[in-house]
Structure 1
Amino acid sequence: MPNAPSRRWFVAGDINGFFGLVVDNLSILGFISVALIGIFQFPAEVVFARMFPGTALGVLVGNLIYTWMARRLAQKTGRDDVTAMPLGLDAPTSIGMALLVLGPSFVAFKQQGLDEQAAALATWQLGMASLVVMGVLKLALSFFGDAITRAVPRAALLGSIGGAALALLGFLPLIETLRSPVVGFVTFGLLLYVLVAKGKLPVRIPGVLLAFIVGTALYYGLGLAGLGTPGFKLPDAVPLRFTLPLPTLGFVDGLAYTVPYLPLLLPFGLLMVVGGINVSESARAAGDDYRTRDVLLAEAVSTLVAGFCGGVAQTTPYIGQPAYKHMGARMGYTLLTGLFIGLGGMLGYVSGLVQWLPIAVLAPIIVYVGMDITVQAFHDSPRKHAPAVALAFLPSIAYLLVIKLGNSAWIEPARYAALYNGVDGHGLPDLATIVTLGNGFIITAMIWSTALVAMIEQRYRRAALVLLIGAVLTLFGFIHSVDPRGSVYWPWMVQGLAKNILWQFAGAYVALAVLLGGLSLQRHAAPQSGNAA
């Protein structure tokens, strides 16, 4: 049988691929649990028994589909070196869900008078609904992925998430890293040694796994010796128990809660579609010609399955498919990873593993992810578009300031009355301006960067059109929402100084669009690429 080698399920290289992919998924699950339980005091029972089983099921389903796709491609081509697409939890959006959606909403629900369990239940329903919203968006956009990448320049797509990565995935986890300075700094330094400097290790194990082992041993060793940070204690044991993630309609009750978070959720889904396209191209360049639409559909289906069954973090194909191929991994590593994570979520041993991973050990890998995404935004965009990438970073800084100054979802709404006070005749109040700029920051970054790329390309009418779209989005609160919570609204429902801010921000976009439209009437030199609008 000439095609027999292509039907082998496992090869030696699958072991290396398995450890690498499992560590990636465990680190993200660990950070979700640490952020919700440690930072927001979310009930651990809900995280481990309700959120994790459905989230892990999405990883299982996606990896099973990608394993089947690899086997089908191997049989079709007669090759025995086909490597499956690696699938797991998306780091930026999963961490964004924990820090920007689930945690703040839990605190907000408690401030509305709900007890801890009721607030946790409502937050879980919000998480499920968020996944369903993103899954439906990804399902629809999977048929139009190429059109999206043509309409939105890479500088805007990568710059918008790059800014969020630098400010939110870089800075916020860095603070958590240095709350245990010795453990965090050593773990972070070791990660930089193996991932950035490509340093040689004395043992043949994945570098990230070694960093986790060293950091965890250091954390517990110092803590048990009384030399660790104040308040050290061993984690509570998580009992092993079987929890079957069955489909539930709980997400229906959470749909209404998603409205204030749509300016975050919609870009999260869009970015995964674009990322899936890039990953497909990367695998194709490495020799494995997967159909892009199939890759995107599998990603959307696994996200929807997770959302319907209680999950709160979306899945995505990872960009490192060529790296796994170089490890010698084929199709067995995705099968093993899916089974390990999926069954671990149902049986509880994944919860037990992440419970023992300290945040000072987990946070450094998130900082590295933030750095890597930021660097990618510049490397993978045309050099002349670098100013547009940098511009896309600025709105995320405003959102970071909102978080540090006091996110409206974390504190009493009455404290935000000062937002619209203090007009001194020299402009809008500082805090009101910062909050308005930060709300919808990912979409804002896309609008700004897309318009600047069009200007760089001397397509001024296109830039004016993009700015007019920004004005419309501003009117309805998708960007620059004057509601401190970031909610969308009908513009005629806004009153007081907030109404003034709304129309001034929308008017700013219109004014610049009109100016660029007028300037486009001049005669310009032919642009270096593309045609002038």
Structure 2
Amino acid sequence: MTTSSPNRWLTPGDLNGFLGLVVDNLSIMAFLATALIGIFGFPADIVFLHMFPGTAFGVLLGNLAYTWMARRLARRTGRSDVTAMPLGLDAPTSIGMALLVLGPAFVNFKQAGMDDHAAGVATWQLGMASLLVMGLLKFVLSFFGAAVQRHVPRAGLLGSIAGIALVLMGFLPLVEILKVPVVGLAGLGIVLYALVAHGRLPWNLPGVLVAFVVGAVLYYVLGPLGLLGSGYHAPTGWQWRIAWPVPTLQGFEGLAYIVPYLPLILPFGLLMVVGGINVNESARAAGDDYPTRDILLVEALATLVAGFCGGVAQTTPYIGQPSYKAMGARTGYTLLTGIVIGLGGVLGYLSNLVELVPLSVLAPILVFVAIGITVQAFEATPVRYAAAVVFSFFPAISRMVTIKLSDPTYVPPDRFAQLYHAGGHGLSELAVITMLGNGFIITSMIWASFVVAMIDGKTLRASWILLLGAALTSFGLIHSADPSGGVYLPWRLEPALRDMVWQFTGAYVGLAVVLALLSWQGQRPASERAAH
């Protein structure tokens, strides 16, 4: 333990930590902007002048609070090796917001007759409302975090977020990498070499920085020479986009649009609470004992403030606190990150960096994070639950397929509706894929939880979990028969959709009855279950 100079503000390790934390946040903001603008045709000014300032302001406030908490801990203990908890934008849920909530909502608003600007404003209001709901949920659950952990098995929590990471945060960015393969694959290879294989880079440079620089150099050297084909786009000129994160009540107007997206938004908030508890435990194991409730309250309040100021992506404590500690970071790196990201949202230089750096350069970082989250789902879960983790991936895969199939570029809306309602032997394949993907995060938790209960020999508990799944299915919170994923009162649905709902609901009830009957024969001894 180090006991000298506990009040030092900046160390060499803080510079390394600052670089890594800034790049993490920048890459997520870049993906958010690129996905909305490039994939969905979202108005860029709304992203950069309305969404970015509030989102960055949440990062600023959260990092300032965590810096203060670390300084307080250092003064109380007399230690100089206290490392602040890193805070930033949560990658899986931010990407999920872009691809599953904001982007599809923008398309839906346009299909309802709004022009691009009006649809963009309505989507921005929906994004703010989503942050307010998630922030409020996190605030309430911060007082009951331990109870949440007790009732939802780790396989369900980590499996559901790993499913998001694998197919949305890993596979989709991998596609972007291979759109400009000369640039993207080089960066990805360096990231894998340095951070997965733990290879040594010259002068011990950080792998993320080297991958970033190599990718950018390849892009801006080969692109103008015509060697990247259509993958190169000349950068636009520098613009000062001054926009203050002023509190606004427009998020309350977005509450009118939020109901169809609650099956996604509520699990996003729940995952951050449990993730915050796990992250704080890892920091405690590394020697920095922060009050769990305070850590959770800071991220909840940072999310709420961001939502009130126009933000659309929630903040979270990052899981890498022991890694930042190992590289020598203390309290300066969170302070610097908060200031740079916060001012960048106000002065507009973050938006310029996002426009200058192509997604093929940033995507390798996202793929690495996706690999890490997926690996963690298996490493942090007992081996006997591995099947439950794998089983929880299927709804996320289905959601990814639905995203592509519902894109009018691939399947025109009238053709989609025709295939969705096609008869035959059982439900149509498109209906099954869509319903399996709707509400996929909660579905993943339900599926992993009942499999874990069966593995533990708690067959009756598994039956009750399935009955919960049946109830959620009935109202569209999972397996919504509405192709857009909306919730509903089942008796108000048209007959064809109501039949789909009852079939999925009946499946859950039927399996619950079977397991309840099997529970009467008693469970096998633990030693016998382990042997199998």
Does the pair score TM above 0.5? yes
The Cα shift of 1:231 comes to 5.8
Which residue in 2 is equivalent to 1:178? 178
The Cα shift of 1:172 comes to 1.1
SS across alignment from 2:526? coil
**Residues 119-518 of structure 1 correspond to what in structure 2 (within 5 A)?**
119-230=119-230, 232-407=232-407, 414-424=414-424, 426-518=425-517
Q: Distance in 2 between matches of 1:290 and 1:248?
A: 32
The Cα shift of 1:89 comes to 0.5
User: Is contact 1:107–1:410 with CA below 8 Å preserved after alignment?
Assistant: no
User: Is contact 1:398–1:434 with CA below 8 Å preserved after alignment?
Assistant: yes
Q: Partner letter of residue 79 of structure 1?
A: R
Structure 1, residues 66-97: CA drift from partner, whole Å, max 9, x if none?
Answer: 00110111111111111100000111111111
Structure 1, residues 249-276: CA drift from partner, whole Å, max 9, x if none?
Answer: 1101111212111111111111111110
Q: Distance in 2 between matches of 1:159 and 1:147?
A: 19
User: Is contact 1:105–1:409 with CA below 8 Å preserved after alignment?
Assistant: no
Which residue in 1 is equivalent to 2:57? 57
Q: Partner letter of residue 468 of structure 1?
A: L
SS across alignment from 1:480? coil
RMSD over aligned Cα atoms: 1.8
Q: Distance in 1 between matches of 2:365 and 2:340?
A: 21
Q: Distance in 1 between matches of 2:47 and 2:507?
A: 44
Structure 1, residues 271-298: CA drift from partner, whole Å, max 9, x if none?
Answer: 1111100100000000000011111000
User: Is contact 1:399–1:438 with CA below 8 Å preserved after alignment?
Assistant: yes
SS across alignment from 1:88? strand
Q: Distance in 1 between matches of 2:408 and 2:313?
A: 23
**Residues 62-81 of structure 1 correspond to what in structure 2 (within 5 A)?**
62-81=62-81
Provide the TM-score with structure 1 as the length reference: 0.96
User: Is contact 1:51–1:124 with CA below 8 Å preserved after alignment?
Assistant: yes
Structure 1, residues 185-213: CA drift from partner, whole Å, max 9, x if none?
Answer: 11111111111011111134321011111
SS across alignment from 1:80? coil
Q: Partner letter of residue 474 of structure 1?
A: T
Which residue in 2 is equivalent to 1:14? 14
The Cα shift of 1:417 comes to 2.7
Q: Partner letter of residue 133 of structure 1?
A: V
Distance 1:357 1:519, change over 3 A: same
Q: Partner letter of residue 329 of structure 1?
A: A
Segment of structure 1 superposing worse, 515-524 or 468-477: 515-524
SS across alignment from 1:427? coil
Which residue in 2 is equivalent to 1:5? 5
Segment of structure 1 superposing worse, 200-209 or 348-357: 200-209
User: Is contact 1:3–1:75 with CA below 8 Å preserved after alignment?
Assistant: no
Structure 1, residues 136-191: CA drift from partner, whole Å, max 9, x if none?
Answer: 11111111111111101111111111112111111111111100010011111111
Distance 1:333 1:420, change over 3 A: closer
User: Is contact 1:108–1:410 with CA below 8 Å preserved after alignment?
Assistant: no
The Cα shift of 1:447 comes to 0.3
Q: Distance in 2 between matches of 1:316 and 1:522?
A: 45
Which residue in 1 is equivalent to 2:101? 101
User: Is contact 2:4–2:79 with CA below 8 Å preserved after alignment?
Assistant: no
User: Is contact 1:392–1:446 with CA below 8 Å preserved after alignment?
Assistant: yes
How many residue pairs are counted as aligned between the two chains?
Answer: 528
Q: Distance in 2 between matches of 1:246 and 1:457?
A: 51
Identity of aligned residues (%): 63
User: Is contact 1:83–1:331 with CA below 8 Å preserved after alignment?
Assistant: yes
Distance 1:261 1:50, change over 3 A: same
User: Is contact 1:395–1:445 with CA below 8 Å preserved after alignment?
Assistant: yes
Q: Partner letter of residue 174 of structure 1?
A: L
The Cα shift of 1:3 comes to 8.2
User: Is contact 1:51–1:311 with CA below 8 Å preserved after alignment?
Assistant: yes
SS across alignment from 1:316? strand
Q: Partner letter of residue 457 of structure 2?
A: Q
User: Is contact 2:406–2:416 with CA below 8 Å preserved after alignment?
Assistant: no
Q: Distance in 1 between matches of 2:229 and 2:219?
A: 9
Structure 1, residues 325-354: CA drift from partner, whole Å, max 9, x if none?
Answer: 111111111011000100111011111112
Q: Distance in 2 between matches of 1:412 and 1:127?
A: 27
User: Is contact 1:242–1:346 with CA below 8 Å preserved after alignment?
Assistant: yes
Q: Distance in 2 between matches of 1:241 and 1:156?
A: 42
Q: Distance in 1 between matches of 2:10 and 2:121?
A: 41
Q: Distance in 2 between matches of 1:417 and 1:389?
A: 33
The Cα shift of 1:41 comes to 1.6
Q: Distance in 2 between matches of 1:473 and 1:236?
A: 48
Q: Distance in 2 between matches of 1:510 and 1:34?
A: 43
Q: Distance in 2 between matches of 1:241 and 1:495?
A: 48
2:532 is equivalent to residue 527 of structure 1: no
The Cα shift of 1:242 comes to 2.6
User: Is contact 1:107–1:409 with CA below 8 Å preserved after alignment?
Assistant: no
User: Is contact 2:180–2:231 with CA below 8 Å preserved after alignment?
Assistant: no
Q: Partner letter of residue 472 of structure 1?
A: A
User: Is contact 2:179–2:231 with CA below 8 Å preserved after alignment?
Assistant: no
SS across alignment from 2:5? helix
**Runs (5+) with no aligned partner, structure 2:** none
User: Is contact 1:56–1:341 with CA below 8 Å preserved after alignment?
Assistant: yes
User: Is contact 2:184–2:215 with CA below 8 Å preserved after alignment?
Assistant: yes
Q: Distance in 1 between matches of 2:481 and 2:192?
A: 41
Q: Distance in 2 between matches of 1:523 and 1:529?
A: 13
The Cα shift of 1:235 comes to 2.1
The Cα shift of 1:525 comes to 2.3
User: Is contact 2:139–2:296 with CA below 8 Å preserved after alignment?
Assistant: yes
SS across alignment from 1:224? coil
User: Is contact 1:128–1:310 with CA below 8 Å preserved after alignment?
Assistant: yes
Q: Distance in 1 between matches of 2:364 and 2:103?
A: 20
Q: Distance in 1 between matches of 2:9 and 2:181?
A: 44
User: Is contact 2:404–2:410 with CA below 8 Å preserved after alignment?
Assistant: no
User: Is contact 1:85–1:317 with CA below 8 Å preserved after alignment?
Assistant: yes
User: Is contact 1:457–1:528 with CA below 8 Å preserved after alignment?
Assistant: no
Segment of structure 1 superposing worse, 42-51 or 381-390: 42-51
Q: Distance in 2 between matches of 1:280 and 1:409?
A: 44
SS across alignment from 1:208? helix
